[in-house]
């Protein structure tokens, strides 16, 4: 069985490793700070958002862990945007390589998301250091963190596969996604605490709880809850009593990933002709 797997996926794995290394090295090539930008970008964004929303607008949960929670949310969203922005163009950008060398087309998309995942891992180390300075009391829920990150990666890969397929045929997808990113960023509880809305009650609280049915928002909230602040972070698990609602984001993630793989595989044979 091992030999069969090596024969079937060994070459693909070698190509994937090579593309991930190349993409990660080229990402910050020519810049003075290099790989440090993968940490500095979310940190600078965190500083701006914390001053505007945390200090001036007072949109905080009032806990000492809020700055770390905000940084973790921004870093998680940065992973999603970096993966999709690079990944949706990956097939077209690697068109010459795909026409010259025979290997599975999906590898170029996966390599883009893996490069972003490496940057995300570096940012999680930075968040951990900030959490130590903030005297965060870690709980046993930290062991659930890998599952939350896998879910976030799965929904991100699903979106990237779908948009990479569409981008081959319609270049407008990149501009549409650029606008949608801004809407999603401010609609989801990333820069503002979800409890800030739910505590007000009424229709706003209902809408805020409904945001947790979004797999991206749900996985980011779960990451915050299990990593930093289980006492203050609302999640789909403590906001809904219905198991159907609790499992809806996971089911949607699985369906989106299946759809992304299906659409990509169905159209991959025609990519070279279209490009």
CA distance 226 to 138: 8
pTM of the model: 0.87
Nearest 5°: the CA angle 60, 63, 65 is: 100
pLDDT at 18: 76
End-to-end C-alpha distance for the chain, whole angstroms: 37
Handedness of CA 87, 92, 94, 100 (dihedral sign): positive
Cβ burial of 141 (10 Å; 0-12, 13-18, 19+) is middle
| CA atoms within 13 Å, Cβ hemisphere of 34 | 3
Contact by Cβ (8 Å): 129, 56: no
Which residues, at least 6 apart from 162, have a Cβ–Cβ distance to it below 8 Å? Answer: 256, 259, 260, 263, 264
The pLDDT of residue 54: 66
Q: How far is residue 158's CA from residue 261's CA, in Å, rounded to a whole number?
A: 7
Question: Alpha helix (H) ranges present in the chain?
Answer: 2-27, 37-49, 66-87, 90-93, 95-100, 106-133, 145-169, 172-187, 194-198, 202-211, 215-227, 236-239, 243-268, 271-274
- The Cα–Cα gap between 1 and 14 comes to 19
- Is the CB of residue 205 less than 8 Å from the CB of residue 198? yes
pLDDT recorded at residue 19: 75
Which residues in the chain land under pLDDT 50? none
């Amino acid at each position: 069985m091992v030999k069969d797997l090596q024969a079937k996926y060994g070459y693909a794995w070698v190509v994937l490793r090579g593309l991930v290394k190349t993409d990660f090295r080229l990402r910050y090539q020519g810049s003075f700070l290099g790989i440090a930008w993968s940490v500095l970008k979310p940190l600078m964004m965190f500083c701006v958002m914390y001053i505007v929303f945390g200090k001036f607008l007072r949109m905080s949960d009032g806990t000492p862990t809020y700055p770390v929670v905000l940084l973790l949310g921004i870093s998680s969203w940065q992973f999603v945007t970096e993966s999709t922005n690079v990944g949706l163009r990956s097939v077209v950008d690697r068109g010459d390589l795909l026409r010259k060398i025979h290997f599975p087309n999906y590898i170029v998309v996966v390599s883009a998301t893996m490069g972003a995942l490496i940057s995300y891992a570096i940012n999680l180390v930075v968040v951990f250091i900030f959490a130590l300075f903030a005297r965060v009391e870690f709980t046993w829920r930290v062991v659930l963190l890998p599952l939350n990150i896998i879910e976030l990666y799965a929904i991100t890969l699903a979106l990237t596969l779908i948009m990479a397929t569409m981008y081959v045929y319609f270049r407008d997808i990149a501009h549409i996604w650029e606008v949608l990113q801004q809407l999603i960023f401010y609609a989801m509880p990333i820069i503002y605490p979800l409890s800030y809305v739910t505590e007000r009650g009424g229709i706003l609280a209902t809408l805020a709880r409904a945001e947790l049915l979004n797999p991206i928002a749900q996985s980011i909230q779960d990451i915050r809850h299990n990593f930093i602040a289980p006492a203050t972070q609302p999640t789909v698990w403590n906001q809904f009593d219905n198991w159907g609602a609790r499992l809806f984001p996971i089911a949607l993630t699985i369906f989106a990933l299946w759809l992304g793989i299906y659409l990509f595989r169905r159209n991959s044979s025609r990519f070279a002709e279209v490009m």
